[in-house]
Structures are given as structure tokens and as C-alpha cells.
Amino acid sequence: MILTVGNIKGGVGKSTLACNIAAALSLADSENSILLIDGDKQGSAATFEQARTETRGNAGFTCVRAQGSEVLNQVRSMRDKFDHIIIDAGGQDNPSLRAGLVASDKVLVPVAPRSFETWALEDMVSLINEAQITNERLEALAVINLAFPRGKDNSQTEEIIREDFPSLHMLNPPIVQRKAWSDAAGQGLCLLDPPRKDVKAIEEFLALLAGLGINQNNIKVIYNVSTKKTKTA
């Protein structure tokens, strides 16, 4: 799978999701080889990879930084060497995002449940539609990220997306903004790494992985949601 995580609106949690997806893929199957391409000028994914290597001794995936056409070149040269490639495309309408859309099988668009974010979706969907002219296999997915724990904002945002942007396939449930995400990232960990304390956050993340078509059987060996107990992978 080649997956771009992107949105022209910044601050919606793209890098956090991209890093966690890459780490989860490495945990799900030790035979997997994963490439995480950091196409964001801020370099958050590369920083996460360094922190994860320091914490665990091995990040479990390879991370490279690339901008613009370099993203496409990396995918073309590396796709036969890796089972999965995750692209953190950064914010704004930038060459890295456009390159990722052309190269990917899927694009995941995180959307925060706020008006400015939904307004920006029109331009993001236009970019996806443009990319699909040359990349017919590109599947467009969206998830409500940094969601509110209560209230109608999440469901209202989802309703707007379904009505106004039917080409985006919505993944459920929303990813609620929980402290577990920042706590894990600060240590170079993903939600599926020990100590795995926030069951609700893990359930939401596992549902996202399932929506992306990522094998759930091996991941549930790492964390058994039904019994709320951790197991050794």
C-alpha cells in the first residue's frame, strides 16, 4: 500500500496519524518493510523516527525526508523494496502533496470538526480530483480527527462532508483528541506500544487501520480490545 496522509489545512494531525500508521504496520507484522516519507518542511515525522529509535533501539520503519518531485522519485525507486509506503505530505497546496497524490493508492484526509477545516475541503477535493485524472487507482478517504469528546460538532461535520463531498469515503468512528496521542508521541511511541493505557483511543485507531485495509488479525494479537489486555506480539 502507498498511502498519503494530507490536507491543505494545517493543524489537523496529519503527521501524528502518518507516524502512528507507519509504526502500527511495523508492529503488526515483523516481516513488513515500511518506508515513511517526510514531505513536511517541519520534519515532524523524521523527528518522531529519531525519538522512536532512541526509545526502542529500532523505529521499525525507515524514514526519509523529501520535498516536491523528490517524493515521487522516492516512491518510484523504493516501491519494490518496501511493503508499505506512508507519505506525510504536510499542509497547504504544496508540491509534496501533489506528488503524493499522483503516486499513492490511497489518500487519507484528516478533518477537524471546525468550520475553517470543512471550508478548506473544497480545494483539497479539487486536488484529489485532479490527481485522479492521471492516477485512476487513487482512493480518497476522510476521517474526523482531533474530534470533540462530546457534542454534535463531530456528527455535523461528518454530515457536511457526506453531503458536500461525496467522493470522500468517511471512516468511522472519529478520532477523539486524547492526551494519549501526545503522551505517546513525546516518547517516540505509537498508541499500540506499551503501556497502551487508553483503550478508547486504541479502539478508534484500530478502526482507522481497518478502514485503510490494514490486516487486523496480527494487530489484535498486540492489543486485545475485547479483553482490554495486552499480549506479546
- For residue 232, what pLDDT is reported? 41
Distance CA 104, CA 94 (A): 16
Q: What is the CATH number of the domain that holds 75?
A: 3.40.50.300
CA 27, distance to chain mean position in Å, is 15
Segments of the chain assigned E as strands: 2-5, 34-38, 62-65, 84-88, 106-111, 139-147, 169-176, 223-224, 229-230
Range of the domain at 117: 2-230
Local mean pLDDT, 10-residue blocks, the chain (233 residues)? 93 94 88 92 94 93 92 92 93 86 97 81 95 97 95 91 95 95 91 85 94 77 56 43
- For residue 41, what pLDDT is reported? 87
- Whole-prediction pTM: 0.92
Distance CA 179, CA 176 (A): 10
Distance CA 118, CA 165 (A): 10
Q: How many domains would you assign to the chain?
A: 1
